[in-house]
Amino acid sequence: MANDAFRKSQLPDRPTADVFGDCWSMLIIRDAMMGLRRFSEFQKNLGVAKNILTVRLRALVANGMLKTEPASDGSAYEEYVLTAKGRACFR
C-alpha cells in the first residue's frame, strides 16, 4: 500500500515506473542511448544472462521504449532502436 502511494505521488508516468521496475531495463535504455543496438552488444556490455536480457528487451519493445528494425548492415539480425518514448525517460 505504501509503495503504491509513493508511486502515485512521486512518479508522474506510472507506466514508465512499471517498465523500470528492475535495474536491467534502465541499463538497457542507457546503453541504447549510448548507441548500442544489437542483442550481442547489450549482452557483452552488461554481462547479463541471455534469458534475462531476452525478457527485458521484449518487455521494453512491448511498452514502446524500444523498437526492432532490420540490421543496418543487411544481415538477418534485428537491431533494437530507442523510440521517442524511450528517449523521453531520461530528459
**How confident is the model at residue 6, as a pLDDT?**
43
Find the farthest-apart pair of alpha carbons in the chain and give their distance in angstroms, rounded. Answer: 50
The average pLDDT across 6-29 equals 63
- The pLDDT-based confidence of 18 (bands split at 50, 70, 90) is low
Helix axes 39-46, 23-33, angle to 10 degrees: 120
Query: Three-class SS of residue 82?
Result: strand
* Residue 42: count of CB within 10 angstroms of its CB: 21
Query: Does 66 have pLDDT greater than 70?
Result: yes
> Secondary structure of 35-72 in the HEC alphabet?
CCCCHHHHHHHHCCCHHHHHHHHHHHHHCCCEEEEECC
Residues near 57 by beta carbon (within 8 Å), at least 6 away in sequence: 28, 39, 42, 66, 80
**How confident is the model at residue 89, as a pLDDT?**
79
**How confident is the model at residue 34, as a pLDDT?**
94
Query: Does 19 have pLDDT greater than 60?
Result: no
- The pLDDT-based confidence of 49 (bands split at 50, 70, 90) is very high
Choice between 68 and 7, residue whose per-residue pLDDT is larger: 68
